[in-house]
Amino acid sequence: MRMEHLKCDVLCVGGGIGGLMAGIRAAELGAKVIVAEKGNVIHSGKSGGGCDHFLCYIPDVHGPDMNAYIEQMMTTQQAHNFQGLGMKRVRAHIAKTFDIIRLWDDWGIPTKQNGKYYFAGHAYPGGLRCLLKYEGRRQKPVLTDQARKRKVNIVNRVMIFDLLTRNGSVAGAVGIDTRTDKIIAFEAGSVILGTGGVTRLYPALTPGWLNNNATRPTLTGDGRLMAYRAGAELQDVEMRVLHVGPRYFARFGQATWVGVFRDPEGRPIGPFVTKPERLYGDITPEANKAIFRDYSKAGRGPVYMDGRGMTQEDYEDIMHWFPHEGLTPMLDHMKEEGIDHRKHPIEFMTYDQGCQGRVVTNEKGEASLKGLYAIGDELANGVSNASVFGWLCGESAVDHVKNAGVPGVTGMKEEVEERASLVHELSSRKEGADWTEVNVALQQIMHDYAGARRTEALLSAGAFHLARLKKKAYEIMRAGNRHELIRCLEVLNLIYLGEIVFQGALDRKETRGTHVRLDYPLTDSRMNGMIHVARRVNGKPITEWRAINK
Ligand SMILES: Cc1cc2nc3c(=O)[nH]c(=O)nc-3n(C[C@H](O)[C@H](O)[C@H](O)COP(=O)(O)OP(=O)(O)OC[C@H]3O[C@@H](n4cnc5c(N)ncnc54)[C@H](O)[C@@H]3O)c2cc1C
């Protein structure tokens, strides 16, 4: 296997919205920047197909009081995104949103409709509309172009799989070329993790098809796992993440639907709207994302998104926005099958997205390991969060390098070779289990033992089975080619993440949100305002409660 060595001031791991924005800003400030991306930045990541709403505060639209905006915004689903991150961070985010929107507009991502800012979706009728509609279909090519203009070195088709550290600071990372027989050692003064969210930990909505996920199947929590292994802290990993969308057709894009969620008798399931209303949508599932699953289990489902009665203007609006939100394949399917949202109610379901598990950071995006930053879905969902903190972390990362320099990595060759030995082992086995077998076994364990209902006995049994699976995976998993090798490394990351979920779920002796402990049905209010932190001390995992960094 060949080894290549690249050096930079700032390494952005992942070229999604967050990674590209971080790279753009750091390069603008004079840093030598590399963006290392598992796929191709032009279309990779959750946002690769487009997005159409951006959490944004505009004083001329919302009034001069940003705190009033934040207070109302926190009554919507956005609150869920920000839980456990601290109000200092929320304020830093919201204060920067309009600047980013103006930048994006200048760069060629349209943010106005007929010359005006237009806010719609994810809102209570009559309440604050905090999401700006924007035409984000081409956002990735536009951001890629901006990064290239600033001489960011974009290294596509490289999966970063471990961090390098020196004396308590991050010093670089190790990546593997996804197409050729090459390992790349990156030496860097600051590393910004922007590898997105987590899929493939829990079964997809059609379990036979591992890749039928609402987001990209290659988003496997790599960043947070690297951070954890290198000694950084994670928080609230055991909390499950749910989403909703058309049954069996896994897509995000809930905000663009216009209609009313109704039961089979045609009754609205929520109290918010009784007819299609495009400015607000039907916010019912945001109050409880499990509502579709709960309805079916209680014998009251299925539930339908019913667009009948919408105006022609509503319909044209939806058809305009769907493709911007990456929903073109769904539109193609509807066309092919003769499904017309104006006439045919569309069945919806609850999706099990995976686990939360954020890298613990302060309001500047700094993790607990010096020189390490985390952005975007490593912390909270949403394109606004990814772009704003990408930008701010680009600045913080450059400051760090200015003060601390690039550590320089002596003995790097041996470290990289040690990591490469796992790659070699997986690739050289002549027989064994392929990654799909291990991934399916993992999903089964997560679903059966750390799923919607949890108890001490179930969690302990699940942790035991997972430990057996981990041992076996290291002993017998094999990669027949490059594609399988990358999937194997992802599955190993997911197994580690599963372990932290079990550990956190066992230690969280309460019921809160998506974490339902049948043996501890009460919410322990002493934990309000606290985060549940997981980290490794001397190679051993520990968990602890800590007050949120307000
Ligand atoms: C269909 C759809 C519509 C959406 N619409 C909206 C919307 O309208 N508004 C909104 O706010 N949000 C929306 N979202 C969510 C939004 O896209 C994400 O929150 C946002 O893209 C997160 O940005 P990110 O940079 O953190 O992650 P991503 O954009 O997912 O990027 C992560 C990148 O890291 C790369 N990567 C992963 N692992 C590695 C590794 N080991 N080494 C190197 N690279 C790696 C990935 O390939 C990817 O390119 C939508 C999501 C979907 C799926």
Task: Check whether residue 78 and residue 141 sit in a common domain.
Answer: yes
CA pair distance 291, 53, nearest whole angstrom: 24
Closest residue by CA, ligand 1 atom 11: 382
Residues lining ligand 1, Cβ inside 6 A = 13-19, 36-39, 44-47, 49, 51-53, 159-160, 194-196, 214-215, 218-219, 222, 251-253, 325-326, 376-377, 381-384, 386
Task: Check whether residue 303 and residue 315 sit in a common domain.
Answer: yes
Task: Check whether residue 333 and residue 425 sit in a common domain.
Answer: no
* Closest-lying ligand 1 atom to the alpha carbon of residue 490: 41
Of 289, 364, 381, 357, which Cα lies nearest the Cα of 81? Answer: 381
Strand partners, 245: 349
* Closest-lying ligand 1 atom to the alpha carbon of residue 48: 29
On whether residue 248 sits in a domain, the answer given is yes
On whether residue 135 sits in a domain, the answer given is yes
SS3 content of the chain, % helix, strand, coil (to 5): 40, 20, 40
Task: Check whether residue 33 and residue 175 sit in a common domain.
Answer: yes
On whether residue 236 sits in a domain, the answer given is no
On whether residue 426 sits in a domain, the answer given is yes
Which of 171-185, 365-379, 403-417, 490-504 has the least mean pLDDT? 403-417
pLDDT score of 80: 80
Residues 6+ apart with CB under 8 A from 119: 61, 129, 130, 131, 132, 133
Which residue range(s) make up the domain with 208?
Answer: 2-215+367-411
On whether residue 265 sits in a domain, the answer given is no
DSSP H or E run through 243: strand 240-246
pLDDT score of 550: 64
Mean model confidence pLDDT for the chain: 93
On the question of pLDDT at 254 being above 80, the answer is no
Which of 185-194, 294-303, 415-424 has the least mean pLDDT? 415-424
On whether residue 454 sits in a domain, the answer given is yes
Span 116-168, pLDDT tens digits: 999 998 889 988 999 999 999 999 999 999 999 999 999 999 999 999 998 88
- Complete DSSP assignment for 324-375: HTT-HHHHHHHHHHT--TTTS-EEEEEEEEEE--EEPB-TT-BBSSBTEEE-
Q: Is residue 109 a contact partner of residue 134, using CB atoms and an 8 Å limit?
A: yes
Domain count, the chain: 3
On whether residue 238 sits in a domain, the answer given is no
Measured in residues, the chain has a length of 550
**Best probe residue, ligand 1, of 47, 186, 491 (max atoms within 8 Å of C-beta):** 47
CA pair distance 391, 401, nearest whole angstrom: 16
CA pair distance 251, 68, nearest whole angstrom: 32
Residues 6+ apart with CB under 8 A from 274: 260, 268
Of 447, 397, 392, 45, which Cα lies nearest the Cα of 218? Answer: 45
- Give distance in angstroms: CA of 95 to centre of ligand 1: 22
Query: Mean pLDDT over residues 386-411, rounded?
Result: 90
pTM greater than 0.75 = yes
On whether residue 467 sits in a domain, the answer given is yes
* Closest-lying ligand 1 atom to the alpha carbon of residue 19: 25
Q: Is residue 322 a contact partner of residue 331, using CB atoms and an 8 Å limit?
A: yes
DSSP three-state, residue 83? coil
